[in-house]
């Protein structure tokens, strides 16, 4: 189904504005997945294995992001390596990252968005908050259920005054 939509994009026949359907009728994910997957389908001449390897490659960045995230949070290279190894050998994530499904892209984007939120809480630079919003919005396009999680996180951080003094000029 997704390969056919990506092929329609490559053949300039149809440019979808909504993505795959969710389990709730009438609610859809973002269409970024179709446009992103059009690239490996084009490079691999429509071969689904090439698309699967593309997803594995993107998902592999999660360990790298996890390393930097844990290294900064715990201020320890050892913790960063340990966290990256846990991600790399996570049974569910290894299985999950090989599926030709839109959700695979949300995992590295979610971790990267929380890494940016962590950097913002430590440095109070508006660029990290903007990066959080951008990464979180892209992650939410691939998995809609993340949107309440991101909103809840921001509300909690605002209540605990970790996110504070955000000026329009900073954004």
DSSP characters over 40-89: HHHHTTT-HHHHHHHHHHHHHHHHHHHHHHHHHHHT-HHHHHHHHHHHHT
CA–CA distance, 70 with 28 (Å, rounded to integer)? 33
- pLDDT of 65 higher than 90: yes
Cα three-residue angle 109-164-137, rounded to 5 degrees: 25
* Whole-prediction pTM: 0.84
Contact status, residue 52 vs residue 100, Cβ threshold 8 Å: yes
- Confidence (pLDDT) at 61: 92
- pLDDT of 37 higher than 80: yes
Over residues 156-170, the pLDDT tens digits come to: 888 887 776 666 565
Over residues 93-142, the pLDDT tens digits come to: 777 766 767 778 888 999 999 999 999 989 888 889 899 999 999 998 88
């Amino acid at each position: 189904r997704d390969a056919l939509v990506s092929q329609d994009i490559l053949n300039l026949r149809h440019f979808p504005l909504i993505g795959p359907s969710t389990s709730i009728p009438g609610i859809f994910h973002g269409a970024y997945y179709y446009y992103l997957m059009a690239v490996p389908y084009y490079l691999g001449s429509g071969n689904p294995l090439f698309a699967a390897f593309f997803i594995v490659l993107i998902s592999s960045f999660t360990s790298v992001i996890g390393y930097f995230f844990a290294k900064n949070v715990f201020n320890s290279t050892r913790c960063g390596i340990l966290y990256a190894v846990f991600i790399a050998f996570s049974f569910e994530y290894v299985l999950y990252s090989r599926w030709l499904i839109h959700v695979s892209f949300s995992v590295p984007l979610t971790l990267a968005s929380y890494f940016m939120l962590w950097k913002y809480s430590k440095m109070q630079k508006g660029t990290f908050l903007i990066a959080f919003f951008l990464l979180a919005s892209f992650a939410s396009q691939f998995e809609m259920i993340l949107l309440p999680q991101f909103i809840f996180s921001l509300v909690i951080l605002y209540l605990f005054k970790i996110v504070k003094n955000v000026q329009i000029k900073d954004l």
